[in-house]
Amino acid sequence: VTGRTGAVVVGARGGLGAAFVEALLATGRYATVLALSRSAAREPVADPGEESADAPPRRIVAHLDLLDESSIRDAAALAGRLGEPRLVIVATGLLHDAATGLQPEKSLAMLDGDRLARLFALNATGPALVAKHFLPRMPRDGRVVFAAISARVGSVSDNRLGGWYGYRASKAALNMLLRTTAIEWARTARQSVCVGLHPGTVDTALSAPFQAGVPPGRLFTPARSAALLLEVIDRLEPSDSGRVFAWDGTEVPP
Ligand SMILES: NC(=O)c1ccc[n+]([C@@H]2O[C@H](COP(=O)([O-])OP(=O)(O)OC[C@H]3O[C@@H](n4cnc5c(N)ncnc54)[C@H](OP(=O)(O)O)[C@@H]3O)[C@@H](O)[C@H]2O)c1
């Protein structure tokens, strides 16, 4: 770890994203933690701090909207200026949205083209555009990790219940985009790891309407899930790249 090593969290004001930012600052392993969210101001804001090698990690807050590629490009350039981004976590996602009446589909009859397109834009295209702009800014030598929060329901082979067409399909598409990215990235960055992660069922706004059937002890706080996923990330090898792993370190089948 050098004094210029950076971590990046996209979706830093979400339930899991905010927990990742706090956990990464607490590790002290990164000189900077770049916290990106669509509601942050366009002008980056940094914690006060010195540039010395033993200074505590600094949080830099900046803007990134997954639906605006130029904001992704600008955020990646900022990450490159801050130092060497060695870990990028994309913690954004969309399942439901009361304001626009977006709800997981229970049946084919509920399928709606515009809503499907919105789910794909947020859950699949957005994280892939983050990879497009951030990977070239990440070092080629040494360990580098790009992780996007996926979901077990994005597993095609594990789908026995049906329903949730758009969310499932957009997460499955995300997993394929991550795998394809992993193959390309390994050609230039031998120690690279590009994975999807399943966080368990986590007590956030995204899961709030769907927590009823969750067994006791299986509803994680965001802090618990983020801590478990950071442990999983630490144990991943380049040979794991392109796959999806759950909070307990087991692989989620494609
Ligand atoms: N919670 C669970 O039980 C669970 C289970 C499996 C998988 N996941 C996955 O975990 C990830 C994190 O979800 P969460 O539970 O932490 O939900 P959350 O609290 O709703 O966070 C979702 C985040 O996505 C951000 N976002 C939405 N549209 C965006 C855009 N256009 N540009 C940038 N950011 C945007 C939101 O930003 P704003 O704050 O600005 O709205 C929010 O920060 C998601 O990928 C989700 O699918 C969650």
Question: Token pair for residue 197?
Answer: 């992660």
Q: What local confidence, expressed as pLDDT, does residue 64 receive?
A: 98
Q: Ligand 1 mean position to 141 CA, how many Å?
A: 31
Say if CB 199 and CB 16 are below 8 A apart: yes
Q: What is the pLDDT of residue 55?
A: 79
User: Which residue CA neighbors atom 45 of ligand 1 most closely?
Assistant: 93
pLDDT confidence of residue 47: 86
E strand or H helix that includes residue 252? strand 251-252
pLDDT in tens, 72-121: 999 999 999 999 999 999 999 999 999 999 999 999 999 999 999 999 99
Q: Mean pLDDT over residues 135-152, rounded?
A: 98
Confidence category of residue 123, pLDDT binned at 50, 70, 90: very high
- Which amino acid is located at 194 in the chain? C
Ligand 1 pocket test: which of 149, 220, 224 has the largest number of ligand atoms within 8 Å of its C-beta? 149
Mean pLDDT calculated for residue range 21-31 = 96
What is the pLDDT at residue 1? 47
- Predicted pLDDT at 235: 98
251 SS3 class: strand
> Bigger pLDDT: 182 or 216?
182
* pLDDT confidence tier of residue 195, bands split at 50, 70 and 90: very high
Ligand 1 mutation target, pool 38, 211, 220, most atoms within 8 A of CB: 38
Position 2 confidence tier, pLDDT thresholds 50, 70, 90: low
Q: For residue 172, count CB atoms less than 10 angstroms from its CB and return exposed for 0-12, middle for 13-18, buried for 19 or more.
A: buried
What average pLDDT is seen over the chain? 96
Closest CA relative to residue 189, chosen from 91, 70, 92, 88: 88
Cα(251) to ligand 1 centroid in Å equals 22
pLDDT of residue 8: 98
Nearest to 66 by CA among 142, 150, 122: 122
Average pLDDT over residues 51-58: 77
123/170 Cα distance (integer angstroms)? 6
User: Which residue among 10, 13, 16 has the greatest number of ligand 1 atoms within 8 angstroms of its CB, and so is best to mutate?
Assistant: 16
Strand order in the sheet with 45-46: 45-46, 58-63, 32-37, 5-10, 84-90, 144-149, 192-198, 244-246, 251-252
Ligand 1 geometric centre to CA of 208 (Å):
12
H-type helices in 46-125, by residue range?
69-82, 113-120
Q: Does the pLDDT value for residue 213 go beyond 80?
A: yes
Confidence check: pLDDT of 37 > 80: yes
CA of 191 to the centre of ligand 1 (A): 28
Neighbours of 173 (CB within 10 A): 18
In whole angstroms, what is the distance from residue 148 CA to residue 90 CA? 4
